[in-house]
């Protein structure tokens, strides 16, 4: 049965049933493809081979049923992402999490039980602040700014995924469980190519959605934002840097704080207000100023985008160790991998490609050199006949 896998791959490749039929050269209709996805019909070997080629997998992969179930943390209420785009992102994440679980098991890395899923109950926004402080303490991060949020999450068993998506997409998180509902992996997903300060807060925000068990009486987005901001800019460290009460802050100072903590100036103003460092009236004065500078959409001195590395590093390691094959590694990474082989292997292959007569000539020349070597070196004669030489 290939229905579930076929739909997952089609959505991940951003193909409608009609588009997939067109990619296959019209050898099958979109109605037939729909039947395949609902397991009401089975493709012929020819159609199956073409399907695999278009979806960039081996035909056998279509018969591998997903080994996990994936729960998606709801898209932000402000999200206007179209249903088709949401389905595409979900398809990508489902496949990526399945690969993640497999690589974790093969490499012996991580255990889903170490991930803080819905661990902190939040009855007010201050609870979200405390949760961020406790998690930083558990991960031994101290109060210093986090130099690389992406790497910090990957170091603590969280999968960081980046996807191509339109600007309406902010982020999403997902939890992978096995048949017994044990957590096997957790993914935080952001849009590729956004500015670093926005990416970092999105990652921390989605971490909040994963870690917090938020009461219905609390605004979920505000709680996740409070957690994310506290995770990146700890209260005590911020008090040390700017003080506990401020009547005036220069934009130049905000820019320096942005570089230090790795979050936007707008997020910093929110943070200062949440902590009571600036008053309501002063907080409200900042937004017309940001608008006048055009900084609501694009701030000066953007921070670099952080790239995740766990997937690539682990896939290449397991490929080198022979625990996954090249096809699997290329499918997971979405790129062609040129394997580097030892010189001896390359030389043997080059030798075998030579004409038979040339190979015999080379072997004969090598035999002559070895014969001459043994004629000149007499030490080996002392071992003839099983005699033992004592030194």
Q: What is the DSSP string of 52-86?
A: HHHTTS-GGGGG---SSEEEEPPPPTT----HHHH
Residues in CB range of 141: below 8 A, 6 or more apart:
152
Within this chain, do residues 219 and 282 fall inside the same structural domain, yes or no?
yes
Q: Look at residues 232, 258, 293 and tell me which one is the last residue of a structural domain.
A: 293
Q: Which domain holds residue 28?
A: 1-65
pTM assigned to the model: 0.79
Within this chain, do residues 131 and 3 fall inside the same structural domain, yes or no?
no
Within this chain, do residues 242 and 188 fall inside the same structural domain, yes or no?
yes
Tokens 């020349």, located at residue: 365
Q: Look at residues 23, 49, 65 and tell me which one is the last residue of a structural domain.
A: 65
Q: Look at residues 65, 87, 103 and tell me which one is the last residue of a structural domain.
A: 65
Within this chain, do residues 55 and 91 fall inside the same structural domain, yes or no?
no
Is position 148 within any domain?
yes
**What is the per-residue pLDDT for 303?**
94
Q: Are 204 and 110 in contact (CB under 8 A)?
A: no
Within this chain, do residues 48 and 70 fall inside the same structural domain, yes or no?
no
Number of domains in the chain: 3
Nearest C-alpha neighbor of 248 from the set 275, 283, 295:
283
Is position 16 within any domain?
yes
Within this chain, do residues 90 and 195 fall inside the same structural domain, yes or no?
yes
Tokens 């992406």, located at residue: 150
Is position 325 within any domain?
no
**What is the per-residue pLDDT for 389?**
40
**What is the per-residue pLDDT for 315?**
94
Within this chain, do residues 56 and 166 fall inside the same structural domain, yes or no?
no
Within this chain, do residues 57 and 72 fall inside the same structural domain, yes or no?
no
Within this chain, do residues 61 and 101 fall inside the same structural domain, yes or no?
no
**What is the per-residue pLDDT for 10?**
87
Q: Which helix (H) or strand (E) holds 188?
A: strand 183-191
Which residues in the chain land under pLDDT 50?
78, 380, 383, 386-391
Residues in CB range of 226: below 8 A, 6 or more apart:
125, 128, 129, 132, 208, 274
Within this chain, do residues 370 and 254 fall inside the same structural domain, yes or no?
no
Within this chain, do residues 16 and 137 fall inside the same structural domain, yes or no?
no
Within this chain, do residues 185 and 247 fall inside the same structural domain, yes or no?
yes
């Amino acid at each position: 049965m290939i229905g579930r896998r076929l739909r997952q791959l089609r959505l991940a490749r951003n193909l409608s049933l009609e588009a997939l039929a067109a990619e296959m050269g019209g050898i099958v209709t979109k109605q037939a493809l729909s039947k395949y996805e609902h397991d009401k019909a089975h493709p012929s070997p020819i159609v199956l081979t073409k399907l695999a080629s278009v979806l960039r997998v081996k035909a056998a992969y279509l018969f591998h049923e997903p080994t996990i179930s994936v729960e998606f943390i709801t898209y932000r209420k402000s999200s206007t992402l179209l249903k088709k785009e949401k389905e595409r992102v979900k398809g990508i994440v489902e496949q990526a999490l399945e690969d993640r679980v497999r690589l974790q098991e093969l490499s012996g890395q991580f255990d889903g039980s170490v991930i803080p899923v819905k661990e902190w109950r939040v009855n007010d926004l201050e609870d979200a602040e405390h949760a961020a402080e406790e998690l930083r303490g558990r991960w031994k991060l101290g109060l210093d700014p986090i130099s690389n949020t992406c790497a910090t999450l990957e170091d603590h068993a969280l999968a960081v995924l980046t996807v191509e998506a339109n600007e309406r997409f902010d982020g999403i998180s997902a939890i992978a469980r096995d048949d017994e509902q044990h957590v096997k992996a957790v993914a935080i997903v952001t849009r590729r190519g956004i500015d670093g300060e926005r990416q970092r807060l999105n990652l921390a925000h989605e971490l909040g959605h994963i870690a917090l068990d938020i009461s219905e009486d609390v605004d979920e987005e505000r709680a996740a934002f409070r957690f994310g901001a506290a995770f990146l800019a700890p209260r005590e460290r911020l008090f040390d840097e700017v003080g506990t009460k401020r009547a005036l802050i220069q934009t130049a100072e905000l820019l320096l704080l942005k570089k230090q903590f790795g979050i936007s100036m707008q997020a910093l103003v929110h943070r200062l207000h949440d902590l009571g460092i600036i008053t309501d009236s002063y907080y409200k004065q900042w937004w017309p100023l940001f608008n006048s500078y055009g900084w609501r959409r694009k701030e000066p001195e953007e921070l670099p985008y952080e790239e995740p590395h766990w997937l690539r590093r682990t896939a290449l390691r397991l490929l080198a160790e022979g625990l996954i094959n090249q096809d699997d590694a290329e499918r997971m990474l979405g790129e062609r991998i040129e394997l580097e082989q030892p010189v001896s292997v390359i030389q043997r292959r080059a030798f075998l490609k030579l004409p038979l007569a040339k190979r015999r000539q080379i072997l004969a020349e090598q035999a002559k050199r070895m014969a001459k070597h043994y004629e000149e070196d007499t030490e080996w004669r002392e071992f003839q006949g099983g005699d033992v030489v004592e030194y």
